[in-house]
Amino acid sequence: MRHRNLVRVAMPVVVGAIVIAGCGSNKSSGGTSGGGAHTVIIGMSAPLTGPLSALGLGMKNSVDLAVKQANAAGTVKGWTIKFQPEDDQADANVGGQVAARLSSISNLVGIVGTLNSSVAQQEQKAYNDQNIVMISPANTGVELTQGPDYASGNKTRPYASYFRVSTTDAIQGPFAAKYLYTSGVHKVATVNDQKTYGAGLTAQFEKEFKKEGGQVTSHQTINPGDKDFSGVISKIKPTNPGAVYYGGEYPEAGPLSKQMKASGLDVPLMGGDGIYDPTFIQLAGAKSNGDLATSVGAPTAALASAKKFVQDYKAAGYKEDFSAYGAYSYDAANVIIQAMATALSGKTSIDAAARQAIVAAVGQTDMEGVTGHVSFDKYGDTTNRVLTVYKVTSGAWAPVKTDTF
């Protein structure tokens, strides 16, 4: 056997890998039927497959529920609402393709999504160019609404058609920092996954934690998809932190917590809403008791305003749980539906003016949603700044403190 030129062998492999990574989209659409003469579409971009699909499917079902209810009640007179969810696989590139596809649909007026801030960043412009309103139930990356220079106080809203019903990392990170510091942890190490969400959340956390007087002993990054964290943990351990703050999502946070405890770094791991999921506890194992997470809003199950949503969701018989963002997705969909009810009454077709009217109507939203009062500030951020700290207690997330920031 002779050695062939390695480059000749390796090139097609690399090219092939890129092609594979770029391809693939799973279409699924949950249609609904109703009585209106004309059809208007609400789209969704969320991870319906892949490691984050638990969150994405909860979002999808909740919007589906809102659309079905609106059609049954005839909320938008003369129109039937159709729901078209698309799978962004939590990947910014796939998100770009989803946005191109959805924004070219002539009777689509609104998008609920995305889950990931990094994906939203890729999609915002496509929708904004077509005056399609986009409301995220989950994006917490600050620059999505306040521009890239928000940290230096120079806040500019990049896209007028983008709104969110979740609060931002500018609130969530500091909220966590304050909670940790007041609970007696004065030294933390931070780890983040370098995505828009994780890095932003960590930066906001560190800023507030230092302001409170705390010390950040180590600042580490990992890659999404990593599983072996022994190197990072060994590096952090000698700095003796009282907790590790993780900016990222549960597929990495779970194993990180488990490996921390196995390597003798026996301190709580704290994260944002990205780790607030039952799967985190499954992955982190029995020693995750004491780990902490913040999440936007008050616990869905505990909200009096969400009781009906929870009942309706159960009654509709969806296979998956509504998950962390279900109630927010439901509210986001209803905001769009309300805006359509005002803007589309008497109209028979969707044009740029109709879409602009919907964007304007969303901006004026003032309604009681299942997650609380819903309205937006001049950046498109929610005015509902309620957050909750959850702690893993005997193998389940239990709310320990709900507060406004």
Partner 1 sequence: MTQFLQQLSNGVVLGATYGLIALGYTMVYGIIQLINFAHGDIFMLGAFGGLLVYNHMPTGMQDHILIALPICLIVGIIWSVAAAVIMERFAYRPLRNAPRLAPLITAIGVSAIIEEGVRLKYPGAKKPLPFPSLLPDGFFTVGGVRITWASVSVVAVAIALMIALQAFVLRSRTGRAMRATAQDPDTAQLMGVDTNRVIVTTFALGAVLAAVAGVLQGARLGTVRFDDGFTAGLKAFTAAVLGGIGNITGCVAGGFIIGIVEVMATQYLPHGSGYKDLWAFVVLILVLVFKPNGLFGEEVAARA
Q: Which residues bind partner 1 (CB under 8 A)?
A: 1, 3-4, 6, 9-10, 12-13, 16-17, 19-20, 24, 49-51, 53-54, 191, 194, 220-223, 225, 227-228, 230-232, 234-235, 238, 251, 254-255, 258-259, 262-264, 279, 282-283, 285
The separation between CA 175 and the C-alpha centre of its own chain, rounded to angstroms, equals 18
Smallest gap from Cβ 169 to partner 1, in A, equals: 19
Residue among 41 and 90 whose Cβ is closer to partner 1: 90
Element of type H or E holding 46: strand 38-46
Q: Hey, which bits of 78-205 come out as E strands? A: 79-87, 108-113, 133-136, 162-164, 187-192
Smallest gap from Cβ 95 to partner 1, in A, equals: 18
317: Cβ–Cβ under 8 A, 6 or more apart, which residues?
none
Residue among 69 and 118 whose Cβ is closer to partner 1: 118
Residue among 221 and 375 whose Cβ is closer to partner 1: 221
Structure tokens at 264: 């003798």
Instruction: Give the chain's length.
Output: 405
Residue among 64 and 252 whose Cβ is closer to partner 1: 252
What sign results for the dihedral spanned by CA atoms 89, 90, 95, 99? positive
Smallest gap from Cβ 277 to partner 1, in A, equals: 9
Smallest gap from Cβ 395 to partner 1, in A, equals: 12
Q: In the block, which residue shows the tokens 């039927």?
A: 33
d(CA 135, CA 118): 15
Residue among 19 and 400 whose Cβ is closer to partner 1: 19
Structure tokens at 353: 């003016």
Smallest gap from Cβ 283 to partner 1, in A, equals: 5
Residue among 282 and 348 whose Cβ is closer to partner 1: 282
Amino acid identity of 315? A
Smallest gap from Cβ 226 to partner 1, in A, equals: 8
Neighbours of 226 (CB within 10 A): 16
